Amino acid sequence: MKRKRIVFLMSDTGGGHRAAADAIRAALELRYPGQYLFELVDVYRRYTPFPFTFMPEVYPRWVNAAGTSWGMGFKFANARYRGQLVMAFIHQFWKQGVRRLVEKHPGDVIVSVHSLFSRPVMRALNQTQFYRPPFVTVITDLVSTHAFWYEPDVERCLVPTQTAYARGLYYGLRPDQMRITGLPVHPQFMANLVEKAEARRRLGWDPHRPAVLMIGGGDGMGPVYETARAIDAQRLGIQFAIIAGRNRTLQRRLETSPWNQPTRVYPFVNNMPELMAAADILVTKAGPATICEACIAGLPIVLSGAVPGQEEGNVSYVVDHGAGVYAPSPDAVARTLSGWLAEGPARLAERAEQARALGRPNAVWEIADEIHAQAQVEPVRTRLRRRHPRQEPRLRPAPEDTFLL
């Protein structure tokens, strides 16, 4: 049986887009072994002109250094007509590159996990091909979903929350185009969750002392150092684990600081399930992927910050469901931890159950099944008219080995 091709449109602007694509790919490989070939295309890096090609480097610096301006831009374009104008402007710059993309990376299904790529790629397909592959958008923001996510011509738009679904209706998608699935979390995350005692044994943590895990994201974003020092000043009698991510400067600064409790500093890690299973409380910014993983692990969350515009809705989502609280300053985080620990283990266990109730561990399987279903559908007729009545539409497959990952 010939394997079908799935092309993921993503970018390394933050870790969530690649992580979502990897999670979905893994679920498809496990659920439908041997049936698919996959390609992950970093659209910014490979098919947009300067300065867009540097967005993977610009995004974390922009959010860290000038989050307010990022939020203003996010909100300005997050409206029906302004968003269309912005997207039309972007299309003029991206048109040639995106047309190269659809020519060089044909597939049986296209899956977009980034808000800016669905519309330009759909436009390129409709303007250059008589038939196109089915198109699936998997929204990787949790609540504050931007207007750019909602391309009306897609076959399926898979959304994480009821709020995201309602926004899709507002932006013109039909109810039958959308499905609420949750965010995709890698199957290995669920498979590697173990009991707390076993996780602590593997990590060498104290089996009895309360454990606080602090995550600054893959790039160590936000006031991680300042928050860690504020927690340390409380002398809470905890064991403290801090993940600095790829931020080597932050890692060295943390490693050379004195601490009032057992403190471990980690770089970018691949054993997040083990770390979350071992912890009692998570301190993190309001990133959607981390929130979803924490809820699946039953780990109550202290949200220390949020990217303006993009992550603000995530705060309400966590707080309103009782999965955590918002403490948007180092001192507020430290005071919150002190109060939670003073409530005792029974209340902390209740918070853990509230977080677990918000988890959707089956989301990635539901998404994989939706994409598999689209792979069985015939190519979609576009609005492009044939120039000659005898010209036959056809798809141009690339060599099979270019899709192997």
pLDDT at 68: 84
Q: Which pLDDT band holds residue 386 (cuts at 50, 70, 90)? A: low
- Candidate from 96-110, 181-195, 218-232 with smallest mean pLDDT: 218-232
Instruction: Tell which residue, 17, 12, 92, has the closest CA to residue 46.
Output: 12
In this predicted structure, the answer to whether residue 249 has a pLDDT above a threshold of 80 is yes
**Strand runs labelled E in 333-383:** 380-381
The DSSP line for 157-225 is: EEESSHHHHHHHHHTT--GGGEEE------HHHHHT---HHHHHHHHT--SSS-EEEEE-TTTT-SSHH
pLDDT in tens, 252-294: 999 999 999 999 999 989 999 999 999 999 999 999 999 999 9
Q: Are residues 220 and 314 in the same domain?
A: yes
Listed in sequence order, the residues at least 6 apart from 46 whose beta carbon sits closer than 8 Å to its beta carbon are 101
* Residue 300 and residue 352 share a domain: yes
Q: pLDDT per residue over 303-358, tens digit each?
A: 999 888 889 999 999 999 999 999 999 999 999 999 999 999 999 999 999 999 99
Residue 82: its pLDDT value, please? 85
* Spatial CA neighbour of 87 closest among 101, 96, 97, 77: 77
If asked whether residues 180 and 297 sit together in one domain, one would say: no
CATH of the domain at 221: 3.40.50.2000
Backbone torsions φ then ψ of 316, nearest 5 degrees: -60, -40
303, containing H or E segment: strand 301-303
Are both 204 and 322 inside the same structural domain? Answer: yes
Does residue 268 sit in the same domain as residue 335?
Answer: yes
Alpha-carbon gap, residue 206 to 223, rounded angstroms: 27
Q: Cα(221)–Cα(349) distance, rounded to whole angstroms?
A: 29
Provide the residue type at 97 as one letter: G
In a shared domain, residues 344 and 225: yes
d(CA 382, CA 50) in angstroms, rounded, equals: 30
What average pLDDT does this structure show over 48-70? 81
Q: What is the mean pLDDT of residues 81-101?
A: 87
Q: Are 254 and 276 in a shared domain?
A: yes
Per-residue pLDDT reduced to its tens digit, 196-217: 999 999 999 999 999 999 998 6
Work out the average pLDDT over 98-113.
Answer: 95
- Of 35, 107, 117, nearest to 380 (Cα)? 107
Integer Cα distance of 129 and 114 in angstroms: 22
Q: 392 pLDDT exceeds 70?
A: no
Q: How many residues does the chain have?
A: 405
Q: Burial level of 180, CB count in 10 A (0-12/13-18/19+)?
A: middle
Q: Are residues 214 and 260 in the same domain?
A: yes
What's the pLDDT at 74? 84
122: helix, strand or coil: helix
Who has greater pLDDT, 85 or 397?
85
User: Higher-confidence residue: 265 or 60?
Assistant: 265
Tell me: pLDDT of 378 over 90: yes
Q: What average pLDDT does the chain have?
A: 90
- If asked whether residues 205 and 293 sit together in one domain, one would say yes
End-to-end CA, the chain: 19
Q: Are residues 19 and 146 in the same domain?
A: yes
Residue with tokens 């499905």: 179
Indicate whether 175 and 125 sit together in one domain. Answer: yes
* Two structure tokens written together for 236: 């809470």
pLDDT score, position 393: 46
**Residues 6+ away with beta carbon under 8 Å from 112:** 8, 9, 10, 118, 121, 135, 136, 137, 138, 151
How crowded is residue 401: how many other Cβ atoms within 10 Å of its Cβ?
A: 7
**Structural domains in the chain (count):** 2
Q: Supply the pLDDT for residue 41.
A: 95
Domain extent, residue 249, equals 192-357
Same domain, 177 and 201: no
Question: Which is higher by pLDDT, 85 or 368?
Answer: 368
Read off φ and ψ for residue 141, nearest 5 degrees.
-90, 155
Contact 337, 211 (CB under 8 A): no
Which of 32, 93, 130, 11 lies closest to 369 in space, CA to CA?
A: 32
* pLDDT of 219: 65
Angstrom distance (rounded) from CA 112 to CA 9: 5
Range in 32-46, 158-172, 385-399 the model is least confident about: 385-399
